[in-house]
């Protein structure tokens, strides 16, 4: 308008104002845009940082989780290995222990078999000797056939053979093939002998009072025959005129010897009786068997009390 009116000074003034205003708006707009760009950049940069931080945290968490998993797996592996090693050690130890026990048992069995083999040979030898003894006893008895009834001969032979057989029976029932308990043997032997000699029918009782004495088989066989002869003679002669009787067997052991005493309450021995002078088969057997086991026998007899005492060295 001022240019059209040729008022150029006013036109220049307003033109400058326009330029100033336009520059101001442009600067403001530019500043606004710059601010917006700055804000957007900073926001995007912040988001990127946040995203990066988030991803970093996720990576750290993943790394921590991975380490925990690795630690857990390592712990499981260590525990599993320890258990496996422990079980392996236990199995090996048990196997080693079982192997040693097996070897020990095998050694025991081998020794037992060797010992049994030797003992069986000894038993066979003793059985053979005992059969020879029986044969000799029968031969001796045959020489007294005219003076002794057949029934008495059979009973005497039966009791003698049973006294020997019982020893072998006890021998097989015990783990010790060398010694037998004397009291146990006498208890069983008297039970058998009382039936053969009719103790009940004759009202004869027996009492066994023997200490714990273990005797070797080589000595017990002759001793059993001695006891058999003494009790047989006692039953046959001591209670002829008595309605009842008691036979007492006492056994005691000392440091170097043991004694076995057979006592009865019968009529007593004849006043002229002597072990050395008697010629009866029973007494002859007793003396021979006593000498065989290197023992000594003595007699003490009065009416109502007769004792045969056998002293045997250990």
Residue spans of the domains in the chain: they are 1-142, 150-313
Q: The CATH number of 150-313 is which of 2.60.120.10, 3.30.565.10, 3.20.20.10, 3.30.420.10?
A: 3.30.565.10
Model pLDDT for residues 136-168, shown as the tens digit of each residue: 666 666 655 555 566 666 666 676 677 667 666
Stronger pLDDT, 102 or 146, i.e. the higher one: 102
Return the minimum-mean-pLDDT range out of 7-21, 76-90, 299-313. Answer: 7-21
Average confidence (pLDDT) over 70-92: 87
Q: 152 and 196 in contact (C-beta within 8 Å)?
A: no
Please give the model's pTM, rounded to 2 decimal places: 0.57
The per-residue pLDDT for 10 is 78
Model pLDDT for residues 11-62, shown as the tens digit of each residue: 777 777 877 777 666 667 767 777 777 777 677 777 777 888 888 888 888 8
DSSP sequence for the chain? -TTTTT-HHHHHHHHHHHHHHHHHHHHHHHHHHHHHHHHHHHHHHHHHHHHHHHHHHHHHHHHHHHHHHHHHHHHHHHHHHHHHHHHHHHHHHHHHHHHHHHHHHHHHHHHHHHHHHHHHHHHHHHHHHHHHHHHHHHHHHHTTTTTS-HHHHHHHHHHHHHHHHHHHHHHHHSS-SSEEEHHHHHHHHHHHHHHHTTTTTTTEEEEEEE---EEEHHHHHHHHHHHHHHHHHIIIIITTT-S-EEEEEEEEE-SSEEEEEEEE-SS---TT--TTT---HHHHHHHHHHHHTTEEEEEEEETTEEEEEEEEE-
């Amino acid at each position: 308008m001022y240019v059209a009116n040729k008022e150029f000074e006013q036109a220049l003034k307003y033109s400058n104002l326009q330029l100033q205003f336009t520059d101001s708006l442009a600067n403001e707009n530019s500043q606004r845009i710059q601010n917006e760009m700055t804000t957007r950049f900073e926001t995007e940069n912040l988001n990127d940082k946040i995203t990066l931080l988030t991803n970093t945290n996720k990576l750290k968490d993943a790394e921590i989780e991975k380490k925990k998993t690795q630690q857990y797996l390592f712990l499981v592996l260590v525990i599993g290995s320890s258990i496996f090693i422990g079980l392996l050690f236990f199995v090996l130890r048990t196997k080693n222990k079982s192997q040693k026990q097996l070897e020990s048992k095998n050694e025991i069995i081998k020794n037992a078999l060797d010992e049994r083999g030797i003992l069986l040979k000894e038993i066979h030898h003793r059985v053979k000797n005992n059969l020879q003894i029986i044969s000799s006893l029968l031969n001796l008895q045959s020489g007294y056939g005219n003076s002794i009834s057949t029934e008495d001969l059979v009973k005497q032979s039966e009791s003698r053979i049973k006294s020997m057989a019982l020893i072998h029976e006890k021998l097989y029932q015990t783990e010790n093939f060398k010694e037998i308990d004397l009291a146990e043997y006498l208890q069983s032997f008297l039970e058998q002998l009382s039936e053969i000699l009719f103790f009940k029918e004759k009202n004869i009782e027996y009492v066994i009072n023997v200490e714990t004495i273990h005797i070797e088989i080589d000595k017990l066989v002759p001793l059993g025959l001695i006891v058999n002869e003494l009790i047989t003679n006692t039953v046959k002669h001591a209670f002829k005129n008595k309605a009842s009787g008691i036979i007492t067997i006492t056994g005691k052991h000392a440091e170097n010897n043991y004694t076995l005493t057979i006592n009865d309450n019968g009529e007593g021995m004849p006043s002229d009786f002597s072990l050395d002078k008697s010629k009866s088969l029973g007494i002859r057997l007793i003396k021979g068997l006593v000498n065989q086991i290197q023992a000594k026998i003595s007699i003490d007899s009065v009416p109502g009390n007769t004792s045969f005492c056998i002293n045997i060295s250990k």
